Every structure is written in C-alpha cells, then in structure tokens.
C-alpha cells in the first residue's frame, strides 16, 4: 500500500514561500497549540486532492493565498504538492495551484486527468476521501448505519463490485 511521503506548500494559508511538511510515516499525528496550523495541513491535503472551497474553510480559492485572510495576499497564487510513494517506492507528485493548474510527474495536466490519476491510487474526490474534519466526527457517528455503510462503500470503491458479488452469491 502506498503512502504520502511529504507535502510541499507555497504561499498556502499560514505558510509563506515554499515549505516542506514531512517526511511522513504511514501513521502520523499532528500536534500543536490552537491556531498553529494543524487544520491548515488538512486543508492543504484536501486542496491537492481536488476538494472545493467549502470544506477548505474559505469562500473563494484565492482566499487560500498567504495573507489573503487580512486582505494582503503575498502572491496571485498558492500551490500544494503531494509526494506519493507506491509499493515500489516510485514517487508521483500531485500538484494543484489556486490559479487552476494541475501538474504532476508521470501524468498529463488537465483536471480530468488529474482526478483520474488520483483515483488510480484510491483517492476518490467525490467521496471526500474519508478526511474527517474538525467537528465532523459526531455527524459521522450519528449517521444512520445504512448511510454510513454507503459512505464507506463509496470510499473503498466496493460498490462497483456489489452487483457482481450478489449474482455470484445467488449462483
Ligand atoms: P485549533 O487547535 O484551534 O483547531 P489549528 O492548529 O487547527 O487550531 P488552523 O485553523 O490550522 O489552526 O490555523 C489557523 C491559523 O491560520 C490562524 O493563525 C490564521 O491566521 C492562519 N491563516 C488562515 N488563513 C490564512 C491565510 N490565508 N494567510 C495566512 N495565515 C492564514
Ligand atoms: Mg483545527
């Protein structure tokens, strides 16, 4: 199973200029005082995984640029790169910018291709990637069990095999 090796941010939210977050292990814990930027790490991750504005805690993507929250953005864009390593330690970079560019090593650059490449490593943007944001734990715990099952089926992509599985059970 692959893993996220590091995140590179450039003028994204609380990070000015280029900075590296990581290296990460397969299991990670981010700790820090209130307001130190823990949730911003999740925002950076979600942004590069194709998330839209609402769950990134901003109204417009341009508000993600460092300084924009006080009306003084330091640049007209911000960038986040995810360095993903597969089982063979082969690295793929997924890079998204606020100005609407999608780059990467080893795949082309349109949004559709970008999302397709993410899906190949199990990141399904429309399933919200199982990122549980601050305050969302309770809402997931309180979901109807069927609803929760449906959510996990979408995330792990087992739904597409459900019909085949049911048919084989009958045979
Ligand atoms: P808590 O423990 O309260 O949840 P946290 O560690 O999750 O805090 P974050 O919400 O990640 O903290 O970070 C908040 C900080 O990010 C604030 O200091 C805020 O000023 C800063 N911040 C948010 N957007 C920007 C921006 N566009 N430019 C610069 N700094 C920003
Ligand atoms: Mg937080």
Alpha carbon nearest to ligand 1 atom 17, residue = 35
Closest CA to 122 of 157, 170, 73: 157
**pTM of the model as a whole:** 0.81
Ligand 1 binding pocket includes 16 (Cβ within 6 Å): no
Ligand 1 binding pocket includes 11 (Cβ within 6 Å): no
- Across the chain, mean pLDDT equals 87
Locate all alpha helices (DSSP H) within 3-157, ordered by sequence: 38-48, 111-120, 137-141, 145-155
pLDDT digits 0-9 by tens, 79-126: 999 999 988 989 999 999 999 888 877 676 788 888 888 888 878 776
In the chain, what are the domain boundaries?
3-123, 137-170
Closest CA to 44 of 29, 36, 31, 56: 56
Which of the ligands is closest to the CA of residue 43? 1
pLDDT digits 0-9 by tens, 128-146: 555 666 677 788 888 899 9
- How confident is the model at residue 129, as a pLDDT? 54
**Residues contacting 13, CB < 8 A, separation 6+:** 37, 40, 43, 44, 64, 66, 78
Q: Which two tokens stand for residue 6?
A: 């590091």
Query: Is there a cis peptide before residue 97, judged by omega within 30 degrees of 0?
Result: no
- How confident is the model at residue 136, as a pLDDT? 73
pLDDT digits 0-9 by tens, 40-75: 999 999 999 988 777 788 999 999 999 999 999 999
- How confident is the model at residue 166, as a pLDDT? 87
- How confident is the model at residue 59, as a pLDDT? 92
CATH of 3-123, one of 3.40.50.300, 3.90.1150.10, 3.40.50.800, 3.40.50.150: 3.40.50.300
Q: What percent of the chain has pLDDT over 90?
A: 47
């Amino acid at each position: 199973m692959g893993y996220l090796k590091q995140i590179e941010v450039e003028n994204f939210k609380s990070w000015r200029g280029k900075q590296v977050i990581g290296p990460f292990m397969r299991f990670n814990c981010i700790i820090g005082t209130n307001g130190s930027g823990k949730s911003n790490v999740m925002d950076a991750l979600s942004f590069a995984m194709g998330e839209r504005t609402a769950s990134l805690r901003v109204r417009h993507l341009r508000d993600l640029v460092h300084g924009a929250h006080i009306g003084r953005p330091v640049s007209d864009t911000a960038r986040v790169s995810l360095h993903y390593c597969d089982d063979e330690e082969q690295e793929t970079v997924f890079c998204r910018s606020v100005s609407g560019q999608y780059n990467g090593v080893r795949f082309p650059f349109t949004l559709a291709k970008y999302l397709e490449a993410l899906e190949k490593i199990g990141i399904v943007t429309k399933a919200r990637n199982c990122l549980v944001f601050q305050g969302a734990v309770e809402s997931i715990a309180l979901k109807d069990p069927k609803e929760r099952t449906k959510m996990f089926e979408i995330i792990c992509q087992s739904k597409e095999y459900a019909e085949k599985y049911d048919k084989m059970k009958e045979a």
